[in-house]
């Protein structure tokens, strides 16, 4: 199933605004703030979340701050570490059959949903059925389930139609299955499986309940008194929507916001990092920068041209010039640390000669190329313009074109309408597993292969790897995809978080697979 593309949105600012922000964040004005007297944490959302905060629908970025704090899954990735460690959440223990087809879970006793309904194995079964019925982007994670057995209230067995060594990662993903109150969902099912209800309400069991959902304005969370875990420090969290990153920075600099999570422009990160009156963090994520070519347009229809273009690229230069505060050169074809037991290292060779020879051999009416980027990404625009200048010097007519996220998302339906090259400096997989990485970025039915550039042989190797959990097979799949010339992996990108000095627990509240969000119940006052 094709899912919705996820690209981080950082609002563009005018030159005057950028000067103002630079002065405020890097000048002599002191940033001063105190813990909230009403115990309600104020945090920003960089633009509206774009989709309802329904975990069976939401498949974007900023809204994870809501869905991962209001809802819970059976397992999750441990926060505060730099590798994908799966730990208990609503399940306390589990067993996996040797053939990766049966997954048995023991549920946590004493858990209730926000309406007071107790957690049982039947709630798990009905949540799986609901996700499949809604059929939106995250539904692929339950498509292979053939049966859900409920031998007791606190025991559940999930049976798959074939081997899937990544299934626990499916469940641990921030977009993975979230368990909902069966009573609430039955009472508010309507004719859309409760989708209308969950636009402004929740059916979760997490440490916070959603009490306000005003699209484009704010979302408000309130502590759930019946939560099974540790009591959160903050009784509430206000998530105000900002349409302009400069206004968001000013609010933080004025002490009105507790933190900026992953939404600080690259140009401002160095200034914040040098200040003593704020706390800054560079936290690990699976965000990655890519440069994609479009095999469905004439210029890059053949592999030779795509491979020649890869040799023209200089990833370290782009990082040094535009992303030095938040990124490092990518060394592997998978995300950082995702394939530790096999060699997925990237071979880079800078040689403009093959590309120059191809350009010199083209007729005049074929010497044009469009380089596309997200209209809200400053970094992507800068990289695109730098490469365009290089191509122009080599004799091409290179045009840089900005596209809104909605248009980029639509390219997969007809990639010939897309640009010849697409820059995505910050996007991420569904989870920290090599299959989930390869599937979303490389497979033609993966959600983030926007330009539909891929290879059936690579896809077959990836399917073999997930059935056997063979690291070497995963590496072979990566090599096969690299050999298509479709994508150049540029950088590993961190979450840059700047917080008021009184806010504690920031690093401990951040999970590697959940960019642009924090586990709010782990935040404290220093």
- The secondary structure of 304-334 as a DSSP string is HHHHHHHHH--HHHHHHHH-TTTEEE--BSS
Structural domains for the chain: 40-262+498-525 (3.40.190.10), 288-493 (3.10.105.10)
For residue 320, the tally of other CB atoms under 10 A from its CB is 12
Helix (H) / strand (E) element for 25: namely helix 15-26
pLDDT, mean of each 10-residue run, the chain (526 residues): 42 39 54 95 92 93 94 97 94 98 98 98 98 94 97 98 97 97 98 98 98 96 98 98 92 97 87 95 94 97 97 96 91 93 94 98 96 89 96 98 88 96 91 94 90 94 96 97 96 95 97 94 97
**Reported pTM:** 0.91
340 near 85, Cβ under 8 Å? no
Helix (H) / strand (E) element for 278: namely strand 278-293
Supply the pLDDT for residue 324.
Answer: 86
What one-character DSSP code corresponds to residue 433? S
Cβ within 8 Å of residue 171, ≥6 positions away: 73, 74, 75, 141, 177
Helix (H) / strand (E) element for 186: namely helix 182-187
φ, ψ at 282 (rounded to 5°): -115, 110
β-pair partners for 167? none
Residue 354 exposed, middle or buried by CB count within 10 Å (0-12, 13-18, 19+): middle
φ, ψ at 449 (rounded to 5°): -90, 70
């Amino acid at each position: 199933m094709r899912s919705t593309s996820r690209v981080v949105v950082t609002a563009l600012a005018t030159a005057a605004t950028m000067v103002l922000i630079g002065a405020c964040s890097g000048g002599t004005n002191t940033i001063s703030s105190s813990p909230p007297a009403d115990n309600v944490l104020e945090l920003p959302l960089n633009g509206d979340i774009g989709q309802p905060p329904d975990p069976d629908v939401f498949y974007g970025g900023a809204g994870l701050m809501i869905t991962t704090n209001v809802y819970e899954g059976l397992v999750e990735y441990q926060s505060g570490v730099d590798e994908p460690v799966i730990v208990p959440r609503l399940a306390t223990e589990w067993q996996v059959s040797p053939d990766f087809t049966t997954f048995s879970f023991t549920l946590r006793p004493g858990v209730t949903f926000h309406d007071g309904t107790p957690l049982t194995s039947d709630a798990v079964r009905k949540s799986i059925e609901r996700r499949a019925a809604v059929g939106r982007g995250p539904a692929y994670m339950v498509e292979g389930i053939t049966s859900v057995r409920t031998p007791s209230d606190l025991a559940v067995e999930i049976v798959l139609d074939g081997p899937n060594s990544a299934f626990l990662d499916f469940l641990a993903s921030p977009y993975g299955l979230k368990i909902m109150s069966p009573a609430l969902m039955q009472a508010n099912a309507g004719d859309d499986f409760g989708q209308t209800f969950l636009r402004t309400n929740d059916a979760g069991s997490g440490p916070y309940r959603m009490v306000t959902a005003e699209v484009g304005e704010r979302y408000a969370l309130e502590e759930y008194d019946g939560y099974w875990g540790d009591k959160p420090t903050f009784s509430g969290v206000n998530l105000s929507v900002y349409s302009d990153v400069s206004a968001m920075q000013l609010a933080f600099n004025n002490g009105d916001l507790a933190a900026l999570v992953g939404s600080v422009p690259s140009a401002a990160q160095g200034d914040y990092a040098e200040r003593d009156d704020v706390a800054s963090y560079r936290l690990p994520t699976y965000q990655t920068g890519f440069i994609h070519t479009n095999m469905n347009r004439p210029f890059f229809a053949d592999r030779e041209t795509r491979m020649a273009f890869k040799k023209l690229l200089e990833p370290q230069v782009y990082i040094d010039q535009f992303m030095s505060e938040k990124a490092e050169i990518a060394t592997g074809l998978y995300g950082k640390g995702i394939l530790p037991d096999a060699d997925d290292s990237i071979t880079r060779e800078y040689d403009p000669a093959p590309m120059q020879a191809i350009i010199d051999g083209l007729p005049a009416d074929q010497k044009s190329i469009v380089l596309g980027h997200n209209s809200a990404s400053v970094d992507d625009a800068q990289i695109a313009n730098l490469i365009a200048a290089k191509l122009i010097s080599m004799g091409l007519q290179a045009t840089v074109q900005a596209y809104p996220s909605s248009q980029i998302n639509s390219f997969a339906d007809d990639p010939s309408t897309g640009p010849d090259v697409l820059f995505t400096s910050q996007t991420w997989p569904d989870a920290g597993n090599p299959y989930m990485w390869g599937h979303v970025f490389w497979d033609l039915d993966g959600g983030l292969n926007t330009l539909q550039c891929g290879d059936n042989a690579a896809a077959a190797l990836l399917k073999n790897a997930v059935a056997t959990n063979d690291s070497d097979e995963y590496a072979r799949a990566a090599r096969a995809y690299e050999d298509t010339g479709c994508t150049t992996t540029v950088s590993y990108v961190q979450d840059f978080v700047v917080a008021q000095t009184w806010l504690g627990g920031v690093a401990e509240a951040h999970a590697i697979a959940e960019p642009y969000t924090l586990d709010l119940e782990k935040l404290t006052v220093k």
